[in-house]
Amino acid sequence: MIQYRSLLISLLLLSLMASSAEALDIGKPAPALEAKLLDGTSFSLASTTGKVIIVNFWATYCEPCRAEMPALDAYYRKHRAEGLMLLGISIDDPSDEAKVRKIMGAFSYPAALGQDASFEGYGRVWHIPLTFVIDRRGNTRKDGWYVENGIDLPLLEKIVTPLLKEQ
């Protein structure tokens, strides 16, 4: 009975992962995404045509998330003048907003709280860190559901830099 229950739970989790990932087809238009940023301004993926966008879902309690944030920030600082936009979306509880703001104070890229963002087309965000890359035409180029173990500078250079060179 216990093995059967474990198998059912595993199948359910795999099904959720697959259904979440199916919404993003590489080379197809990225799902809509809108957010009220921590600084009070608004972000809309629809208004970013012509930019390469990195969307990173994270949380203050997630050590792998926090470990990759310095690389994301360094890459953003180096390439933002080339048309790069990076958006961090914290999935922390609303009561942890002060923690999110404190952590983001060390980084130069904009962020939003998940409660202040609309990202339904990206699936149920339960596995973090989770990163998506969208090209200048608004097409998904990296689906975070199928990712290596974390983001680092070499991976960003491999995936994002060629997109920045496209016009």
Is 65 a known active-site residue? yes
| Vertex 17: Cα angle to 15 and 21 (nearest 5) | 115
Q: For residues 31 and 111, which has the higher predicted lDDT (pLDDT)? A: 111
Asked whether 114 and 10 are in contact (CB, 8 A), the reply is: no
Q: Is 163 a catalytic residue?
A: no
Does 101 or 30 have the greater pLDDT score?
101
User: Which segments of the chain does DSSP mark as H helices, in order?
Assistant: 2-22, 63-79, 97-104, 153-159, 161-165
What CA–CA distances, in Å, run from 84 to 5, 62, 77, 92, 160?
A: 46, 25, 9, 25, 9
- Split at pLDDT 50, 70, 90, the class of 26 is confident
Structure tokens at 101: 């703001």
Of the residues 62, 71, 74, 164, only one is catalytic, namely 62
Q: What is the mean pLDDT of residues 127-154?
A: 80
pLDDT score for 90? 94
More confident residue, 29 or 47: 47
| More reliable by pLDDT, 57 or 125 | 57
- The catalytically annotated residue of 52, 54, 59, 65 is 65
pLDDT recorded at residue 27: 60
Ranges of each domain in the chain? 2-165
How far apart (Å, rounded) are the C-alpha atoms in residues 98 and 77? 24
Residue 166 has a pLDDT of 86
pLDDT of residue 147: 57
Domain 2-165 adopts which CATH fold?
Glutaredoxin (3.40.30)
Q: What is the mean pLDDT of residues 2-11?
A: 46
Mean pLDDT confidence for 125-141: 85
Q: Which two tokens stand for residue 9?
A: 């739970």
In this structure, the number of other CB atoms found within 10 A of the CB of residue 3 comes to 7
Chain-wide mean pLDDT for the chain?
Answer: 82
Asked if residue 129 has a cis previous peptide bond (ω within 30° of 0), the answer is yes
Q: Identity (one letter) of the amino acid at 122?
A: Y
Structure confidence by residue, pLDDT tens digits, 67-123: 999 999 999 999 999 999 999 999 999 999 999 999 999 999 999 998 898 877 666
Rounded CA Rg of the chain:
16
Task: Give the residue, 150 or 110, on which the prediction is more confident.
Answer: 110
Under 8 Å between Cβ of 88 and 110: yes
